[in-house]
Amino acid sequence: MDLLTQFAETGASSNLFTALGIDWQMLIFQIVAFVVLVVLLGKFVYPPLMKAVDNRQEAIEASTEAAEEARKKAAKAESDVEKMLKEARTQASDIVSTAKEEATAAIEAADAKSKARAEHILAEAHEQIEKDVAGARKVLHNETLSLVAQATEKVVGKSVDAKVDEKVISAAIKEAK
């Protein structure tokens, strides 16, 4: 309260500063020094500082844009790779199915060729067997004729001419069949 009473007793403004313990000359000097400091800072310190801050902000924005662009490129590259993989899988599947079809066709062709070859060999074998059988029958027929002629000669005791022998033998063979 002491201060309030002293303030109330001193009514003048000059005494007010004194009463508060403020030296008004020193206050004016400090105000002028503060204004000079603000002007000097505003003229020489703040512009380079603000320029550095602006440059840093631009660098940060550029880095952010570059990172976003890189992210987009990476996403695009990933989708391209996925698309290429899908296409490669499709092509591989097509190649495998084509190879299977070609292998099946080759197997069927080889099978058909081998069947045709086997049938040809079998037909040739049947022809050869028929020729051999016909040859054997002819030889057997001739031998039979010869044997019957010899048997007839022995039974009859003499030989009849070849034409008569042949007629008799042929008739006997026909009756035997």
Distance, CA of 170 to CA of 142 (rounded, Å):
11
Is this structure's pTM higher than 0.85? no
In a 13 Å sphere around the CA of 29, the CA atoms on its Cβ side amount to 5
161: DSSP letter:
P
- Rounded mean pLDDT of 168-176? 75
Contact indicator for 13, 6 with CB cutoff of 8 Å: no
Q: Give the C-alpha distances (Å, rounded to integers) separating 104 from 92, 101, 117.
A: 18, 5, 20
149, 165 Cβ separation under 8 angstroms: yes
- Which are the contacts of 172, defined by CB distance < 8 A and separation ≥ 6? 148
Neighbours of 168 (CB within 10 A): 15
pLDDT digits (tens, 9 = 90+) for 82-141: 999 999 999 999 999 999 999 999 999 999 999 999 999 999 999 999 999 999 888 888
User: Under 8 Å CB-to-CB from 6, ≥6 apart: which residues?
Assistant: 19
Q: Nearest 5 degrees, angle CA 160-CA 165-CA 168?
A: 125
Residue 5 has pLDDT above 60, yes or no: no
The predicted-structure confidence for 47-60, as pLDDT tens digits, reads as follows 999 999 999 999 99
In order of 54, 89, 93, 99, 161, the CA distances from 84 in angstroms are 44, 8, 14, 22, 100
Amino acid symbol at 16: L
Q: What mean pLDDT value characterizes the chain?
A: 85
Residue-wise pLDDT for 129-140, tens only, equals 999 999 988 888
